[in-house]
């Protein structure tokens, strides 16, 4: 009896590194650079894809790579596990498993907390100390680790843990965690609090992958603080970038996925357990199941009367961000006004739903209209009538409210 041999033209394994995606090509190029470095480290093919704002999308990249390999490992290039890692990327992997029977798909963990990342942050801190002319062994040096901030408490909690690990075993006076947006404590507040102890120097570490807008805000805030407090020397480092220690962390995440030892902190995940203040948030396995079922229900049917729950997709879907900063700006009222406006409209096939953070904090309430891919910013309850009567009923975009179009 002869056994059929696998196609020798196929790679045993391939890796898809998934970045967030940006309108800044420099940020997208960083993902490709890390993919190239990871390919050299692992000696397996590694391609890059993006969740949004850049090409190729995850689905397109998988469609291109799947026929060339027996096993594909998808690794998210994300610092922490928030909604993209818990919802968007797993859903793409699930779709791929349903359509590519001949390829095995594995899903790796985010970068998260890793000894190599702690060592990299320590090195970044030493570089700032050198620039400021201080030494933690002889001077009082405080560190503020500043991350983006998330609507996911599990993600924010990891920032505090990382700050503690950076403090342990090192001669810093203190290491504090802060955020540039979405949640508290904010960077400015933390810097002012640290200054009360009058350290010799404050080192600000942006916990960012790339040198983007948020990294720039962190550096600018550190410079302003340095000017306002002449008795404290302060400086900020650069982002993590495409350092080899980031590559090593990604390589470990790949190995974990290949060995089936991926770990996620499900005991404190708002999508898996009920946490105070987050009871209405849905994601993870629940969101994936709901999304897949909803896609099937929205498939066009010739006669929906046979199954009253099966229905055609609405012409438009409107998502209103009701996360912390948008909620504080009146998002809940905007949501209800839009729903009422749609109900009162004569001919308006639209579904309006609440959304978690859309990543545009400070510019809300944000209202996203799909499939038109138009986002409105700073929407007030008074603006909702125009959005309904102009855009949703007559397909005329309300130009002065447009925040961006995708």
Least Cα distance to 80 among 183, 208, 175 occurs for 208
Greater model confidence, 299 or 12: 12
Q: What is the pLDDT of residues 82-117, one digit of tens each?
A: 677 777 888 888 889 988 989 999 999 999 999 999
How far apart are the C-alpha atoms of 332 and 291, rounded to whole Å? 23
In the chain, % helix, strand, coil (3-state, to 5) comes to: 45, 20, 40
Question: Coil, strand or helix: which one is 354?
Answer: strand
**Which positions ≥6 away from 202 have C-beta within 8 Å?**
141, 142, 143, 144, 191, 194, 195, 222, 225, 232, 233, 234, 235
In sequence order, what are the beta bridge partners of 72? 14, 105
Confidence check: pLDDT of 177 > 80: yes
Q: What is the pLDDT of residues 189-223, one digit of tens each?
A: 999 999 999 999 999 999 999 988 899 999 999 99
Run of H or E including 25 = helix 25-42
For residue 373, the model assigns a pLDDT of 81
With beta carbons less than 8 A apart as the criterion, state whether 79 and 202 touch: no
Q: How far is CA 185 from the centre of its chain?
A: 19
pLDDT digits over 334-357, tens only?
A: 988 998 888 888 778 888 887 777
Distance CA(142)–CA(204), nearest Å, equals 9
Length of the chain as a residue count:
406
C-alpha 298: how far from chain center: 27
Give the pairing of strands 104-107 and 69-76.
parallel
Residue 253 is predicted with a pLDDT of 95
Cis status, amide bond into 317, omega within 30 of 0: no
pLDDT bracket for residue 45 (50, 70, 90): very high
Would the pTM count as exceeding 0.95? Answer: no
Coil vs helix vs strand at 252:
helix
- What average pLDDT does the segment 283-305 reach? 46
DSSP assigned state of 203: E
Burial (0-12, 13-18, 19+ Cβ within 10 Å), 227: exposed
Cβ atoms of 287 and 337 closer than 8 Å:
no
Average pLDDT over residues 226-251: 96
Mean pLDDT confidence for 154-180: 95
As a whole number of angstroms, the distance between CA 180 and CA 120 comes to: 21
Query: Looking at 57-66, 108-117, 119-128, 310-319, which range is the least confident one?
Result: 310-319
Residue 16's pLDDT band, with cuts at 50, 70 and 90, is: very high
pLDDT of residue 263: 62
How far apart CA 354 and CA 332 sit, in angstroms, is 9
Per-residue pLDDT, 309: 40
> Residue 382 contacts by C-beta under 8 Å, 6 or more apart in sequence?
none
In this predicted structure, the answer to whether residue 286 has a pLDDT above a threshold of 90 is: no
Q: Which residue has the tokens 């948008």?
A: 326
DSSP output for 53-107: SSSSBHHHHHHHHGGGEEEEEEEE--SS-SHIIIIIHHHHHHHHHHH-TTSEEEE
Q: Rounded to the nearest 5 degrees, what angle is found at the Cα of 114, between the Cα atoms of 206 and 193?
A: 35
């Amino acid at each position: 009896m002869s056994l059929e041999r696998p196609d020798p033209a196929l790679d045993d394994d391939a890796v898809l590194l998934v970045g967030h995606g940006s309108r800044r090509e420099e940020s997208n190029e960083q993902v490709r650079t890390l993919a190239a470095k990871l390919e050299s480290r692992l000696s397996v093919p590694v391609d890059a894809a993006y969740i949004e704002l850049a090409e190729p999308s995850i689905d397109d990249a998988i469609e291109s790579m799947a026929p060339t390999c027996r096993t594909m490992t998808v690794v998210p290039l994300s610092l922490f596990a928030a909604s993209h890692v818990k919802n968007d990327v797993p859903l793409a992997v699930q779709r791929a498993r349903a359509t590519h029977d001949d390829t095995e798909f594995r899903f790796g963990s985010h970068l998260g907390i890793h000894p190599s990342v702690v060592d990299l942050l320590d090195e970044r801190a030493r570089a700032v100390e050198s620039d400021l002319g201080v030494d933690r062994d002889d001077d009082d040096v405080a560190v503020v680790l500043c991350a983006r901030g998330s609507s996911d408490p599990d993600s924010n909690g990891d920032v505090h843990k990382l700050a503690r690990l950076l403090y342990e075993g090192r001669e810093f006076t203190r290491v504090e965690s802060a955020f540039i947006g979405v949640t508290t404590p904010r960077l400015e507040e933390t810097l002012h609090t640290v200054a009360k102890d009058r350290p010799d120097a404050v080192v600000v570490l942006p916990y960012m992958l790339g040198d983007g807008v948020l990294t720039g805000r962190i550096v600018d805030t550190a410079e302003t603080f340095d000017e306002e407090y002449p008795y404290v020397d302060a400086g900020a480092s650069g982002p993590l970038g495409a350092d080899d220690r980031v590559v090593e962390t990604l390589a470990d995440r790949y190995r974990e996925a290949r060995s089936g030892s991926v770990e996620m902190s499900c005991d404190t995940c708002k999508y898996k357990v009920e946490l105070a203040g987050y009871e209405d948030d849905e994601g993870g396995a629940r969101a994936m199941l709901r999304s897949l079922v909803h896609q099937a229900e929205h498939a066009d049917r010739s006669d929906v009367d046979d199954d009253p729950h099966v229905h055609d997709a609405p012409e438009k879907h409107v998502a209103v961000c009701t996360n912390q900063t948008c909620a504080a700006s009146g998002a809940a009222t905007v949501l209800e006004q839009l729903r009422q406006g749609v109900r009162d409209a004569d001919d308006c096939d639209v579904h309006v739903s609440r959304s978690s953070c859309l990543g545009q904090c400070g510019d809300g309430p944000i209202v996203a209209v799909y499939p038109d891919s138009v986002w409105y910013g700073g929407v007030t309850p008074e603006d909702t009538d125009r959005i309904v009567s102009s855009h949703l009923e007559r397909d005329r975009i309300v130009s002065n409210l447009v925040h961006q179009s995708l």
